[in-house]
Amino acid sequence: MAWVVHYWDESNNRNISSSEISTQEDAMQKACNLMQQGHVVSHVAGPNGERIDKGRQRAGARYGHGDLDRHSVR
């Protein structure tokens, strides 16, 4: 079961999908790091069709990754 971060790579002018990430927390960390670097993260996709949208990613980055379980996954 893997998570994938989907983001826009401005320098190459295209959408990018990260390599598979084993945990939700690590995927959220990757998304936050990408946003801090100025990339636009569209969403984080998880196993079984789970998806974390941009607003929840920002909340995860703001509150720290230990609090991710407060944010529901749809």
| Domain containing residue 8 | 4-68
CB of 2 within 8 A of CB of 20?
yes
Kindly state whether residue 27 falls inside one of the protein's structural domains: yes
> What average pLDDT does range 17-46 have in this prediction?
92
Q: Is residue 74 one of the residues assigned to a domain? A: no
Q: Is 14 a domain residue?
A: yes
44 part of a folded domain: yes
Q: Which of 2-6, 22-26, 31-35 has the lowest mean pLDDT?
A: 31-35
Does 66 score more than 70 pLDDT?
no
With contact defined as beta carbons under 8 Å apart, do 7 and 40 qualify?
Answer: yes
Quick one: average pLDDT of 31-35? 89
The count of domains in the chain is 1
CA distance 74 to 70: 13
Q: Tell whether 73 is covered by a domain.
A: no
Region 64-73: mean pLDDT is 40
pLDDT at 45 over 80: yes
CA 43 from chain centre, in angstroms, equals 6
